[in-house]
A and B are shown apart, each in its own frame.
Chain A
Amino acid sequence: MFEYIQIVFSFEALLTIAIGTVAGVAIGGMPGLTATMAVGLLVPFTYTMDPTMGLMLLGGIYCGAMYGGSIPAILLNTPGTPAAVATAIEGYPMSKQGRGALALKVSVTASFVGGTFSVMILLLFAPFLARQALAFGPAETFLLALMGLAGIVSIADENSSLIKALIAGLIGMIIAVIGTDDMSGSLRYTMGMIELIDGIDFMPALIGLFSMIQMLELAGAHSHAIDTSLIDKQNKREPMPKGISKHIALGSGTGTLIGILPGEGATIAAFISYNFSKRISKVRELFGKGNPEGIAAAEAGNNGCVGGSLVPTLTLGIPGNSVAAALMGAFIIHGMIPGPELFNEYADRTYPFIISMFVANGVFLIVGLTFAPYLARIALIPPAIMVPVVSAFAVLGSYALNNAVFDVYMMIGFALGGLVLKKLGFSLEALILGLILGPIAEGGFTQGMIIGHGSPMIFFESSIAKVMWVIIGVLLIPPLYSYLKSKRT
């Protein structure tokens, strides 16, 4: 093990990791640029690099991008990745109160702890855990998506109408119906447009619903959303909130566990962690109004996915999410086919790669903590400069996803439709959650029904499924109870 550590701590390797991580933070922070895209595009370029260095570069990007998504989420209410939507719910209100620097500090610390914990798990228990995760089938995937969707209730129950949040979630799921039905191969509501065959991409939706709407609202305001005097007062190093470590730990564990399971991990992980943290919080009424506990859980949750998603990727060749799939391409291009060989024949590349991710987490922690007070001032940039710059990025980012102008129109469509819904009091967070998790739930449900030969009992049979039903109950029943009680009085 010592020789592997030595490889990582050579000057060349450290520089590579640092470059990858910082680039990752920037990529994650810009709307439309995703870690999947960055890793995918860079894989061919690592072809000519030393394999170990190439993998370290990509690992750094993955770690950095997952954290980077939280920065604009907190400062501008424009999450760079869907996994940072939960962060925006708590982070942006904190920014408005002038506590942006603290929110950034909480986010980077939680990201660091979540990321480091998950890499530790990857290093120590990967083969064992990957085998356990195989028991997780389509039926359980359906239940996991339900757990994520329970987040809609959590978004709603304190500040806005539960019914409106549920309707917004449903609108998201209905939009997600467009595209190819995977079970029959038939096309649903594509209106003969080839661009719709794959369904609605959630990235243009994310950019439209958050970045663009935020800019439209900002353009309508006379001055910044934030009271300048607050920032200078609060900037005097507000200490980390007490009891936050509990929420970070909760998020790290949840995120790592969900990351190991196959499927779209980080978004579900962030929302489930956020939801858990709300349930155990002593100051539940502050959620939605700028509670650092929510940021801590969500960010630890999505960064926990990084190490977690690599567990099945490296040991079994089953990538835990789309970034891990792109990363797997990099391993294959260097002749390292995932499986036991990675840990014996290619141990001198695989272990340094894993260890390098500890360094990557350290790099973004240092960068994040150092720059938090300065980054917080981004929120002070006048709308006249901010709006055109972010809007330009929104258009470019939408186009860059698939090199398609269609996605730009889609993004603008979501911005206009979303603005109307937002003004009417519908939660856009619920909408995006429905849009992302709807197809996962549908896929798990239909596949489960096929495997069960048409019997829904498959959703209740395994012991994992039973535990998940209990958790879903715990997440749903208390809010329902308090909702009914408030209706009666």
Chain B
Amino acid sequence: MFKKSLLAGIVLSLGLSTAVQAGEYPSKAITIVVPSKAGGSTDRTARLFTELAEKNYEGFEFVIKHIPGSGGQKGFEAIARAKADGYTIGLNFTPQLVAHIVSKRAKYTLDSFHVMGNVAQDPGIVAVPKDSKIMNMVDLAAAAKAGSLTVAVNGIGSDDFLAAKSFEAAAGVEFNLLPTKGSTEQKAGVLGGHVDAAFMNLSQMIKQHKAGDARIISLLTEERDSHLPEMATSKEQGFDVQMRATRGFVAPAGIDAAIQGQLDDMLTAIMASDEFKANAAKGNIFLLPQSGADYLAYLKGLQADTQAVYDKAPW
């Protein structure tokens, strides 16, 4: 590892100092910015990585820095602003990363980052109370046409909100949208029967669905999901609505290519390991490994889709 990066540094011939810098990398702990609270799913995703990275790569040490709040915006900005010396990288999550750009609140663009790759995902779902008459997406569209349905989404501009808006457009209906503060309120609303339906994420409801406390009526992904294989996607049910939350690694743009390459390779190698997969399954984290290039393409597409929703109904 040492030799390889030293060599890469010289080949790039960006001067002696760079070569030395690359050769000595890392000379101190690398900070990983987690733009949410300690103990949350993004934090757990970061820890999955650092645990194996510190174990398998000698000399690498990581410090996790939490910058919670404002839907990740503070944290994303901190990553974009950080010195591009390879000692600060961070996690991002979608669609908030692009939603802040679209709503013109962010002080960054996608170009501010080097996208390292995606790690985890959480498929969008639609859930209804357990004794609801709505059994599938066709029922949902019909019920929404017959009378106003109260539908909970986790805040304006969230993945749930975008998915609900997308379904409204696809089915030609309009919901009585109920924005909540966090998925906990959504869960309480569905389990207590205070709302007619909720657009949420799979990890938040899968146990309640299996226990019979609530009912998931569709997945909002391209294909079915191995965690709930019997569940039909919305697309199969006639409504092409797709939404998933993703969580991946990004770095500030402009890091020395040798150093960045080293970090990118490390991420790819760790995500491919069986130990990583086992730990993720235990921690209720759904993996979706994606290379930096693929993930960047996904982010660009998502930004365009989000822009379309924002142009119709800005928030």
Contacts and interface: CB of A to CB of B under 8 A. Distances in A.
Please say whether chains A and B are actual partners in one complex: yes
Interface of A: 37, 39-41, 43-44, 47, 134-138, 180, 182-186, 194-195, 197-198, 262, 312, 316-319, 325-326, 329-330, 332-335, 337-341, 402-403, 443, 447, 450-451, 453
A319 B192 CA distance: 14
Contacts of A339: 207-208, 210-211, 213
Nearest to A330: B39
A318 B191 contact: yes
Contact of A317 (B43, B105, B208, B283): B208
Nearest to A448: B194
Given A138-B194, A403-B65, A450-B176, A194 B38 contact: no
B145 to A, nearest CB: 16
Contact of B40 (A47, A329, A402): A329
Interface residues of B, number: 52
Contacts of B67: 402-403
Nearest to B66: A403
Contacts of A443: 181
Given A39-B39, A40-B37, A403-B66, A185 B157 contact: yes
Contacts of B195: 451
Given A318-B184, A339-B208, A183 B284 contact: no
Contacts of B284: 332, 335, 337
B69 interface: yes
Interface string B98-140: 0000010101000000000000000000000000000000000
A377 to B, nearest CB: 36
Contact of A184 (B105, B213, B315): B315
B150 interface: yes
B188 A43 contact: no
Given A318-B191, A451-B194, A182 B73 contact: no
6 closest residue pairs by CB, A with B: A185-B156, A329-B39, A40-B38, A134-B192, A185-B315, A197-B70
A41 B150 contact: no
A198 B73 CA distance: 11
Interface string B141-184: 00000001010000111000000000000000000111111001
A326 B39 contact: yes
A47 B180 CA distance: 30
Contacts of B211: 339-340
22 contacts: A47-B47, A134-B193, A135-B192, A137-B189, A137-B192, A138-B194, A182-B155, A184-B315, A185-B157, A186-B315, A194-B70, A262-B184, A312-B188, A317-B187, A318-B187, A326-B37, A335-B282, A339-B213, A451-B150, A451-B178, A453-B148, A453-B176
Contacts of B191: 134, 316, 318
B283 A194 contact: no
A182 B39 contact: no
Given A134-B188, A198-B69, A450-B150, 12 more contacts: A37-B38, A137-B188, A194-B74, A197-B105, A198-B70, A316-B191, A316-B213, A318-B191, A330-B39, A332-B283, A450-B178, A451-B150
Given A317-B208, A330-B39, A341-B207, A262 B155 contact: no
Nearest to A196: B70
Nearest to A452: B150
Contacts of A198: 69-70
B38 A43 contact: yes
Interface string B51-71: 100000000000011111111
A181 B315 CA distance: 10
A177 to B, nearest CB: 15
A262 B39 contact: no
A47 B66 CA distance: 18
Interface in B62-96: 64-71, 73-74, 77
A398 to B, nearest CB: 15
A330 B284 CA distance: 12
Interface in B294-315: 315
A44 B105 CA distance: 32
B222 to A, nearest CB: 25
Contacts of A451: 150, 178, 194-195
A325 B36 CA distance: 14
Interface in B16-30: none
B39 A319 contact: no
B207 A182 contact: no
Nearest to B38: A40
B275 interface: no
Given A185-B156, A340-B211, A453-B148, A447 B178 contact: yes
Contacts of B265: none
B277 interface: no
B47 A262 contact: no
A94 B252 CA distance: 56
B44 interface: yes
Contacts of A312: 188
B208 A447 contact: no
Output the residue of A337, A340, A443, A453 with the most chain B CB within 10 A.
A337
Nearest to A451: B150
Nearest to B46: A44
B260 to A, nearest CB: 26
Given A47-B51, A402-B68, A447-B180, A41 B38 contact: yes
Nearest to B150: A451
B185 interface: yes
Contacts of B107: 194
Contacts of B148: 453
Nearest to B40: A329
A333 B51 CA distance: 13
A330 B187 CA distance: 19
Contacts of A330: 39
Contacts of A402: 67-69
Contacts of A326: 37-39
B179 A316 contact: no
Contacts of A453: 148, 150, 176
B207 A337 contact: yes
Interface string B184-206: 11011101111100000000000
A183 B184 CA distance: 16
A30 to B, nearest CB: 18
A134 B214 CA distance: 12
B191 to A, nearest CB: 5
B202 to A, nearest CB: 12
Nearest to B206: A337
Nearest to A334: B282
A339 B51 CA distance: 28
Nearest to A136: B192
Contacts of B66: 403
Nearest to A341: B207
A418 B1 CA distance: 58
Contacts of A333: 39, 44, 283
Nearest to A40: B38
A180 B103 CA distance: 13
